[in-house]
Amino acid sequence: MKVILAEKAGFCMGVRRAFDTTLETVHNTGGKIATYGPLIHNPQVLAVLKEQGVEILDEIPAKRSGTIIIRAHGVPPDHKAKLLKTGADVKDATCPRVMKVQVIIQKYREQNYTTIIIGDKNHAEVLGLMGYAEPKVHVVSNADDIDSLSVSGSYIIVSQTTQDDQSFEQLSSEIISRFPQGKVFNTICDSTHKRQDEVRSLCKQVQAMVVIGGKGSANTQRLGQVAEKMGCPVFMCETNQDIDLKALSQYERVGVTAGASTPEWVIKKVIKTLESL
Ligand code: SF4
């Protein structure tokens, strides 16, 4: 089987930065180390961090020693304030691209604008962004959400950084056509743009696409949807252990990509397995 790997497969800048910050903290700092929420949506990476003694905090404790790391998705500002009050050393690994969206929202919120976030409800990044926009904020995930939307006065539209370009264009145009007084900021990050563009062009060269990444990783699932929209058969997997090899063996040319939180060592194993077919 001929396997073509996408150039942008795997860790993006923000995830790498958060992962490196955590490992550096493990190696250079004594005491307890925890991340507030899972650092990224990849079980293999989380297992490595657990082996290194990194805990995951689901709640903010009243008091805590050691270090707490804020993940790449960012957190609402009141959560950061509470983390700082615990007494722990707080390292903020929010991705700079996510911070840029937080800054845009904050700037317009101070001028009394409403914020519409195009993204996945309950995704950690979106919950963090909502914290900067509250109380005047709406999350739009699909066309049905627009039907029930009601906005008066000035507003902005921003995007979760890992949204699909085409969905963002479509949903933001629909919102603007209903409420023309809005400003649109396409805040999908470059890494996401490139990764999705590469999938679209790979789909034209291969017979099937394999997308590697955590089941809970929204950007990984979105890569699968982008390939599906191109009419390409898609095989999602987390590691080389859960690939549908029987179904894949009917193809001669297969493309491979991976979500922004998929580590290189997992990608390499999948490639090796596919090449052995
Ligand atoms: S996908 Fe983009 S915004 Fe999200 S962590 Fe990676 S580089 Fe940052």
For residue 261, the CA-to-ligand 1 centroid distance in Å is: 9
Residue nearest to atom 7 of ligand 1 (CA): 14
Is residue 120 domain-shared with residue 177, that is, in the same domain?
A: yes
pTM of the model: 0.90
Is the CB of residue 93 below 6 angstroms from any atom belonging to ligand 1? Answer: no
Residue 207 structural domain: 2-10+190-275
Question: Which atom of ligand 1 lies nearest, measured to the CA of 15?
Answer: 5
State pLDDT tens for residues 125-184: 999 999 999 999 999 999 999 999 999 999 999 999 999 888 999 999 999 999 999 999
The residue from 42, 75, 94 where one domain ends is 94
Domains held by the chain: number = 3
Indicate the residue among 167, 184, 201 that finishes a domain: 184
What's the CATH number where 233 sits?
A: 3.40.1010.20
* Active centre residues (catalytic): 125
C-alpha–C-alpha distance, residues 90 and 85, integer Å: 10
Domain closes at, from 144, 162, 184: 184
| pLDDT-derived band at 64, boundaries 50, 70, 90 | very high
Instruction: Say whether pLDDT at 30 is over 80.
Output: no
Same domain, 102 and 71: no
Answer yes or no: do 234 and 271 share one domain.
yes
Q: Please check whether residue 40 is in contact with residue 110, taking contact to mean a CB–CB distance below 8 angstroms.
A: no
- pLDDT tens-digit map of 99-135: 999 999 999 999 999 999 999 999 999 999 999 999 9
The whole-number pLDDT of residue 164 equals 87
Phi, psi angle pair for 139, to nearest 5°: -115, 130
Distance 62 CA to ligand 1 centre (A): 30
The model's confidence at residue 78, banded by pLDDT at 50, 70 and 90, is very high
Q: Is the CB–ligand 1 distance for residue 188 below 6 Å? A: no
- 83 and 22 in one domain? yes
Question: Which residue has its alpha carbon closest to ligand 1 atom 2?
Answer: 189
What's the pLDDT tens digit per position in 251-275?
A: 999 999 999 999 999 999 999 999 9
